[in-house]
Amino acid sequence: MLHSFNLYSSPSDTTGTNQPELFKHKSEQSNHRYRTSPQDSAHYADPLHPPPPPLRLTPYVAVSSTDQAVLWYIARNVPDLRCWVIANPRAKPDLLEYISQAGGPHVKDCFTVLFAALDADEDRHIED
């Protein structure tokens, strides 16, 4: 199942649940932030340049995204993609620590592969 979240507003925008609008489903966000139909284009400052579509969370996004907010969202809410975040070379240590504590499908195996690769790289530098 693909997950998505909305990038139409800033992370500082909050609603009654104290969750940033950035991570709320489109139906839960305040209507003035995005166009819900062609008739609502008057709410936009520039109707010729609509906002980007919601980001679809796939393994490719988890392994290639450099935006830490996206990686943290995946780590907290999409356990099936945690293994792909581990493979992301830009994942920060605190994010990897969270994933190791939270667990998920194949997380232990992914950390085993990561540590083996790091050990092999270290051994190669020692020999040189």
- Report whether 89 contacts 81 (CB < 8 A): no
**How many Å apart are CA 65 and CA 74, to the nearest integer?**
11
Q: What is the pLDDT of residues 72-91, one digit of tens each?
A: 999 999 999 999 999 999 99
Percent of the chain scored above 90 by pLDDT?
A: 45
What number is the average pLDDT over the span 107-120? 94
Statement: the pTM of the whole predicted model exceeds 0.85: no
Tell me what percent of the residues of the chain surpass a pLDDT of 70.
60
Please enumerate in sequence order all residues whose Cβ is within 8 A of that of 85, keeping only pairs 6 or more positions apart, or say none.
62, 63, 71, 74, 75, 91, 95, 96, 99
Question: Where is pLDDT greater, at 77 or 65?
Answer: 77
* DSSP notation for the chain: --EEE--SS-TT-B-TTS-BGGGS-GGGS-GGGS-SSGGGGGGSS-TTSPPPPPEEE-HHHHHH---HHHHHHHHHH-GGGHHHHHT-TT--HHHHHHHHHH--TTHHHHHHHHHHHHHHHHHHHHH-
Question: Domain limits of the chain?
Answer: 59-124
Q: Write the CA distances from 87 to 12, 46, 50, 61, 106, integer angstroms.
A: 29, 38, 33, 11, 12
Query: What are 27-43's pLDDT values in tens digits?
Result: 555 544 444 555 554 55
